[in-house]
Amino acid sequence: MPALENRTALITGGASGIGRAIAEAYLHEGAQVVIADLDVSATVPGAAAHVALDVSDPASVQDAVATTTGLLGRIDILVNSAGILTEAPLAEMEPRVWSETIAVDLTGVFLCCRYVVPGMIERRWGRIINIASQLGIKGGRSLTHYAAAKAGVIGLTKSLALEVAEHNVLVNAIAPGPVETPMVAGITEEWKSAKRAELPLGRFGRPEEVAPTAVLLATDPGGNLYVGQTLGPNSGDVMP
Ligand code: NAD
């Protein structure tokens, strides 16, 4: 039997990169998937629907959650993959860049959890998978805003996991090393080649290499092993 048969999933940022690879893996494992993204032009074949979403806007998140619940009946699995990244040294950073990054990469995760968790508690089943980053653990030059947001996602994950585990709602994060997606396309080649040298595989990860961890964390019983953990594929760290 496919691992996620009869499960429903809402995937933010599912139109591209890591979120898209997770959506494809979930569909392969039998889940019904709604893709929620700022970009509604890129479609994932087999998805139940594509919903317009700005994760930084509370009203937009509430709308997307209501639409998804209306379509699928419930949300069993929430994957928070929507995110943005720009390089900016702190001494030159426009405060607006800081605020936007925190709004999307951290507050966006809070808002999606905020409006999905009550239904999960009510049904006593839920899995939340937040896409953090190794930069949230190790930091990154010219990425204080992004690293701070991702460190926040890890803190949010651990704390929410403590709050809701008793309701059989399990919350975990994945903190990948660099992954070849449109997000990193704009980063300087100098940064990328320095990063490659640190990586255990000597190359950036691929989105489909992150997806199996997101499948494991969504399954029952596989996901039951993990509560409030941050798993780090291709990071150079030993998995916790
Ligand atoms: P990506 O740019 O390919 O995908 C990000 C998606 O998020 C896009 O479809 C974009 O439209 C969407 N998005 C952006 N802002 C949004 C908003 N306000 N509301 C809704 N959707 C929005 O990037 P990716 O590399 O697949 O990144 C996915 C997640 O993985 C991000 O949270 C990112 O920070 C994280 N991550 C990426 C890497 C990497 O090296 N690529 C490494 C670690 C973590």
- Mutation choice for ligand 1 from 24, 35, 37, CB with most ligand atoms inside 8 A: 37
CB of 13 closer than 6 angstroms to any ligand 1 atom: yes
Of 30-34, 51-55, 218-222, 233-237, which gets the smallest average pLDDT? 233-237
User: Residues 169-213: pLDDT tens digits?
Assistant: 999 999 999 999 999 988 888 888 988 888 888 899 999 999 999
**pLDDT, mean of residues 89-105:** 98
CB of 231 closer than 6 angstroms to any ligand 1 atom: no
Q: How many domains does the chain have?
A: 1
Question: Residue 238 domain-assigned?
Answer: no
Question: Residue 25 domain-assigned?
Answer: yes
Question: Residue 48 domain-assigned?
Answer: yes
- Mutation choice for ligand 1 from 10, 11, 12, 16, CB with most ligand atoms inside 8 A: 16
Q: What is the pLDDT of residue 231?
A: 84
Question: Residue 102 domain-assigned?
Answer: yes
Question: Residue 3 domain-assigned?
Answer: no
User: Does residue 239 surpass a pLDDT of 80?
Assistant: no
CB of 140 closer than 6 angstroms to any ligand 1 atom: no
Q: What is the CATH number of the domain that holds 165?
A: 3.40.50.720
Closest CA to 174 of 157, 161, 191: 157
Question: Residue 13 domain-assigned?
Answer: yes
What pTM was estimated for this model as a whole?
0.96
Question: Residue 90 domain-assigned?
Answer: yes
Minimum-distance ligand 1 atom for the alpha carbon of 56: 18
Residues 6+ positions from 146 with CB-CB distance below 8 Å:
85, 86, 101, 105, 133, 135, 140
89 vs 187, higher pLDDT: 89
Enclosing domain of residue 166: 8-231
ipTM of the shown complex = 0.99
Round to whole Å and give the CA distance between 135 and 140: 6
Question: Residue 236 domain-assigned?
Answer: no
Q: Which residue has the tokens 């990425």?
A: 143
User: Does residue 238 surpass a pLDDT of 60?
Assistant: no
